[in-house]
Structures are given as C-alpha cells and as structure tokens.
RNA sequence: GUCCCCAUCGUCUAGAGGCCUAGGACACCAGCCUUUCACGUUGGUAACACGGGUUCGAAUCCCGUUGGGGACGCCA
C-alpha cells in the first residue's frame, strides 16, 4: 500500500491542502502503507523553490512526515519515454491550434449553449500539413485520445461514481515546447512509483476518469488503484475557500498562534460526526475512518478552530510552548496565564504585565484606597500567599470587600479588569512594579 | 451555458419509512462555583430549504424548484 500527497509548489499550503495531506498520512499510518511526497512542479512558470521548502516545513509543523519524496522536474526522461510509447500506440496525436484559436472555439461552443469540448479537428490533419508546419518552425502540442466509454469506480468517500469520457476534451499531455502536463506526469508517476491509493480533493473527480483511461493506455491495471475524493471545504459563509486562502495558509495560522494539534484535530474531524479534540496526527491514527467522511462540503469555521486551540492551550505544558513564549518567560508564568489564553501569542501581553511595563489607567475616585494599598503592600520576599495577606490587611483597614476591594487593585496592577489570578501574578511582577503602578493609578505625580 | 455532486440547530453532524415531541459535540446565552476571567457544573435558545407525489405513516423513497459546491486550460 502506498499513498501520495502531491502538492504543486506554486503557493503556500492552506487548510484544504492540510486536510488532504492529513487524510493520506493517517490512512497510510493506520494501514501500514508508505507515504510519498511528490512535488508536482511541471508548471515551471508558477513553481518556486521557496514554496517547495515552505511546503515541507509546514507539513512537518503539522506533524506529518513521509517515507520518500521526489519532484517531477527531475523525471522528465521518464515522461518523454512514456510519451513515445503513447505515440507508438496511437494514443497521442499532434495538434497545431494556438491558444487563441482554442479559446475562440470554446467561446463559440459556450455561446451556442454547448459544452466547450475539443472537437478533435487535429485528428484529421494530414502528415503533409504537420510536416509543413514543422518546416515553418511550428511544433505541435500533443493530446491524448480518450476512449469512447464511461469510467466507473467505487469511491472511498463518494460511493459509486462515473465519468463519461465522450463529454470531455482530449487532454493535452505535452506542450508545444515539449514539456509534460500534470494529467500525464501524475499518471506516469503513480504507475512508476507503485501508488495504490489516491486520496485527493473532489475537484479531481473528472481527472480520475481521464487518468484511469490514460493509466490503462500505459499498461496499468485499473484494479490496482483505489480512489477516494474528499468534498471540498468552503469558507465559514459556505463560499469557495479560494477567496480566503491567504488567511487560511498554514503559515498565517501558525503566525497567528494556532497550534498544530488544534488544526490537525479540527481538520481530521471536519465532515464527520466525530467530536473534534486537539491532537497531533500520530494520536489521530487509530480513530481515522475514511467512510465516516460526509459526501457534502464542510465549512471551515475559524471559531471552531479557535475553540480547539484554546482547549489545547489550557492543558499545555511549559515545554510544549516554551519556544513560542516571550524571551525569559518562566514555567510559573506559563502556568499562571495559560488558562486565560485563546492563542499563545496572547501570552506576550501578560509577560509585559509581570516583566515589562504597564501603564494603568488613572483611578481618581480610588485615590485614597490605592494610597492605603500602597501603605499596606508587604515587603519582599513575595510568594503566592502575599496577595491574600495584602488584601486581608487592606480589607481590615478600609472595610472593603469583594469587587470593591480587588477590582481597583487588578486594574492598577495589570491595566485590565480581567486576567489570570493575581495570587500568582503578584509575586512574579515584584514589589517594584507593583509600587510604581499603584502610584500611577492613584494619580501620584 | 453544459455536465456532476450536495442540501438536518450558528458550525460539524446522528438519522438508511414508524424507535424523532429529531440526538450529540462545539459555539452562543443564563444560573451555580470562583474575591475577576477561564475551568468545572446545571440549564437554555436553536434545524429536517421549498413544492408536489408514493405510503396507513416520510427528515428518511421519487419528481420538480431553489440554494450551494465542483468540472469543462498548452493550471494543478
């Protein structure tokens, strides 16, 4: 058993890609299959090395790995050889129309209310015409002649599906400059690398029909292949995800403070009745089931993702987040604030509270109370008992209790009405900071 | 435009003719707990897109409408 994840390095990985990659990985790891990471970089104009690097990095961040990897641009000889075989068997035919002519043809068909399918005009081109074009320096591009039949398969997610080949254009496999196209390289590689399970997005179902036809033309046994297509994700409003891709790039989510366990857990449960929980891919392996995935498109809801992220954070060990915390942040600090965070990135603000500078808002009407607080502030050393001792003394002196007692203190000390327990925060910020802030809040100077 | 697919609470879904006064999780709201927030806990709001059939009986089957997604590239 071998599965492959085959992104093209033409942009950053987004949540839709992550879902497909994760599903491939989970299925492979669950059934003891191998994972191939294949870079579909035949579009040389759009492919970039930096995206290839980013891709590997993002997959690793998500907690995925792979057993083998190659890029298609390194295997051009393989595709050329396969093309020769197809030409020899009469499956590949040369065409001369340029892109403008093809576009005009399609527009004409569309206007006539017909599907824009290639009319196979080039099939009736004579050897003489071709020779003349070549003599004039015009090289042909090559199309694969589709069979006149329907291709059917039992899809792992969608159930029984079929594609009617006669209603499709013969796909271009080789450009006029000789470079191979995705439809072709994908099949050649699947055949050559021994892929057994193809798990990809639903936008590929027509490709599956075409590629199965091509697979057979190249001598492949269609029974050796199992297909499953995941319904595409939509955005939170139910619209195409493509509009939000920038915000939903793994890079961006990571930068925003989203944890890989939150993303993996969410995306693995999306489209199923399983209750999502934050977990890294390796912990999701036992529970993964392809046939549990719904046939309808699921919405990617950032709020749900955030809820999972929050849940993960609240139980996260210091060691698990240390590298994303502000310089110098300590374990007691983390334990004190983690319960108040939705995103790790929010820890920064609390680190300012205990180790940096906070300018509290002035509380003129609380001036007397804050002065009393200043006077009763215990000497250091401080520990977790200090807050209780201090507020106890203050209560005795001012007669205040409850909110009236601690809210002005919280506001003065942290600049905010809400936050982590002051019992833990106070000793971490230290007497110096506390004094300064109380004075500022009281309006002194 | 043509073809394909999909359609249950805000979100993900359970539901395969009577078990449904439609269940769960998350989100949301409220109470309790907590000297704030969060956690926890208790409760609540909230859905079968619409119209026709079939049937004793339909969320479940059929047809249509509407809505959404996808495919139709010398992109992948």
CATH number of the structural domain spanning residue A259: 1.10.1160.10
- Nucleotide B71: closest residue by CA–C1': A206
Cα–Cα distance, A28 to A109 (Å, whole number): 44
The per-residue DSSP string of A304-369 comes to HHHHHHHHHHHT--HHHHGGGSPTT--HHHHHHHGGG-SSGGGHHHHHHHHHS---PPP-GGGHHH
A108 touches strand B (CB under 7 A): no
pLDDT per residue as tens digits for the range A90-125: 999 999 999 999 999 999 999 988 999 999 999 999
Same domain, A297 and A368: no
Distances (CA, A) of A19 to A16, A122, A233, A271, A298: 5, 41, 9, 11, 11
Is the backbone peptide bond immediately before A60 cis, with ω within 30 degrees of 0? Answer: no
Instruction: Please check whether residue A39 lies inside any domain of the structure.
Output: no
- State the CATH number of the domain containing residue A372: 1.10.10.350
Over residues A300-321, the mean pLDDT reads 93
ipTM above 0.90, yes or no: yes
- Of the pLDDT bands very low, low, confident and very high (cuts 50, 70, 90), residue A410 is very high
Residues lying close to strand B (Cβ under 7 A), chosen from 319-348 of chain A, are: 339-340
pLDDT per residue as tens digits for the range A345-402: 999 999 999 999 999 999 988 999 999 999 999 998 999 999 999 999 999 999 888 8
Instruction: Please check whether residue A56 lies inside any domain of the structure.
Output: no
A384 touches strand B (CB under 7 A): no
Identify nearest nucleotide to residue A392 by CA to C1′ distance.
B35
Q: For A182 and B12, how far is CA from C1' in angstroms?
A: 34
Cα–Cα distance, A204 to A228 (Å, whole number): 10
Same domain, A246 and A311: yes
Angle between helices A15-31 and A260-269 (to 10 degrees): 80
Q: For A343 and B31, how far is CA from C1' in angstroms?
A: 29
Instruction: Please check whether residue A423 lies inside any domain of the structure.
Output: yes
- Nucleotide B23: closest residue by CA–C1': A273
Distances (CA, A) of A441 to A26, A291, A397, A436: 55, 61, 20, 9
Same domain, A373 and A299: no
Residue A200's DSSP bridge partners are: A229
Q: For A138 and B43, how far is CA from C1' in angstroms?
A: 77
Domain boundary among A296, A319, A342: A319
* Average pLDDT, rounded, for chain A: 94
- Are A140 and A178 contacting, i.e. CB atoms less than 8 angstroms apart? no
Instruction: Please check whether residue A309 lies inside any domain of the structure.
Output: yes
Number of domains in chain A: 2
Cα–Cα distance, A395 to A267 (Å, whole number): 51
Identify nearest nucleotide to residue A39 by CA to C1′ distance.
B76
Domain boundary among A289, A319, A349: A319
A111 touches strand B (CB under 7 A): no
Most confident of the following: A12-21, A238-247, A434-443: A12-21
- Of the pLDDT bands very low, low, confident and very high (cuts 50, 70, 90), residue A77 is very high
Same domain, A248 and A297: yes
This prediction has a pTM of: 0.94
**Residue A444's pLDDT is what?**
64
Same domain, A295 and A368: no
- Residue that the structure tokens 């200090």 belong to: A386
Instruction: Please check whether residue A214 lies inside any domain of the structure.
Output: no
Instruction: Please check whether residue A221 lies inside any domain of the structure.
Output: no
- The answer, yes or no, to whether residue A445 has pLDDT greater than 60, is no
Most confident of the following: A18-32, A106-120, A418-432: A18-32
> A228: burial class by Cβ within 10 Å (0-12, 13-18, 19+)?
buried
Residue A294 tokens, joined: 């719904």
**Residue A417's pLDDT is what?**
87
**Residue A249's pLDDT is what?**
94
The percentage of chain A sitting over the pLDDT mark of 70, rounded to a whole number, equals 100
Same domain, A296 and A365: no
Instruction: Please check whether residue A437 lies inside any domain of the structure.
Output: yes
- Of the pLDDT bands very low, low, confident and very high (cuts 50, 70, 90), residue A129 is very high
**Residue A241's pLDDT is what?**
87
Same domain, A297 and A374: no
Instruction: Please check whether residue A429 lies inside any domain of the structure.
Output: yes
Phi, psi (deg, nearest 5) at residue A66: -150, 155
Tell me the CA end-to-end span of chain A in Å, nearest whole number. 75
Nucleotides of B under 7 A from a protein CB: 1-8, 10-14, 23-27, 35-39, 68-76
Give the structural domain span for A303: 241-319
Domain boundary among A270, A303, A319: A319
Same domain, A297 and A361: no
């Amino acid at each position: 058993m071998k599965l492959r994840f085959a992104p093209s390095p033409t942009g950053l990985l987004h949540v839709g890609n992550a879902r497909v990659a994760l599903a491939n990985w989970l299925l492979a790891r669950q059934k003891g299959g191998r994972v191939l990471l294949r870079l579909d970089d035949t579009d040389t104009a759009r492919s970039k090395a930096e995206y290839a690097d980013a891709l590997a990095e993002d997959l690793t961040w998500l907690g995925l790995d792979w057993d083998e990897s190659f890029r298609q641009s390194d295997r051009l000889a393989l595709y050329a050889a396969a093309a020769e075989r197809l030409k020899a068997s009469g499956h590949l035919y040369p065409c001369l129309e340029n892109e403008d002519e093809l576009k005009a043809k399609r527009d004409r068909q569309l206007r006539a209310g017909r599907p824009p399918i290639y009319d196979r005009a080039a099939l009736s081109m004579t050897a003489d015409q071709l020779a003349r074009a070549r003599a004039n320096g015009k090289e042909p591009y090559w199309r694969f002649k589709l069979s006149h039949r329907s291709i059917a398969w039992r899809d792992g997610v969608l159930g029984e599906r079929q594609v009617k080949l006669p209603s499709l254009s013969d796909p271009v496999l080789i450009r006029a400059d000789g470079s191979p196209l995705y439809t072709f390289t994908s099949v050649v590689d699947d055949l050559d690398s021994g892929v057994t399970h193809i798990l990809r997005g639903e936008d590929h179902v027509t490709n599956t029909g075409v590629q199965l036809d091509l697979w057979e033309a190249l001598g492949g046994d269609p029974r050796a292949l199992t297909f499953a297509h995941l319904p595409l994700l939509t955005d939170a409003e139910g619209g195409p995800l493509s509009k939000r891709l920038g915000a939903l790039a793994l890079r961006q989510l990571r930068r925003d403070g989203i944890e890989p366990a939150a993303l993996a857990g969410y995306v693995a449960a999306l489209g199923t009745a399983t209750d999502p929980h934050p977990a890294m891919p390796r912990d999701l392996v036992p529970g993964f089931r392809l046939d549990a995935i719904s046939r309808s498109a699921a919405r990617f809801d950032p709020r749900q993702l955030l809820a999972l992220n929050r849940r993960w954070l609240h139980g996260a060990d210091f060691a698990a987040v240390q590298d994303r915390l502000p310089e110098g942040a300590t374990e007691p600090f983390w334990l004190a604030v983690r319960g108040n965070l939705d995103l790790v990135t929010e820890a920064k603000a609390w680190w300012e509270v205990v180790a940096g500078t906070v300018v509290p808002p002035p509380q003129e009407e609380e001036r007397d109370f804050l002065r009393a607080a200043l006077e009763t502030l215990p000497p250091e050393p401080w520990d977790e008992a200090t807050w209780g001792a201090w507020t106890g003394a203050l209560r005795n002196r001012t007669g205040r209790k409850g909110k009236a007692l601690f809210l002005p203190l919280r506001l003065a000390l942290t600049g905010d009405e809400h936050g982590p327990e002051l019992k833990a925060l106070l000793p971490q910020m230290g007497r110096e900071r506390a004094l300064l802030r109380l004075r500022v809040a009281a309006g002194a100077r």
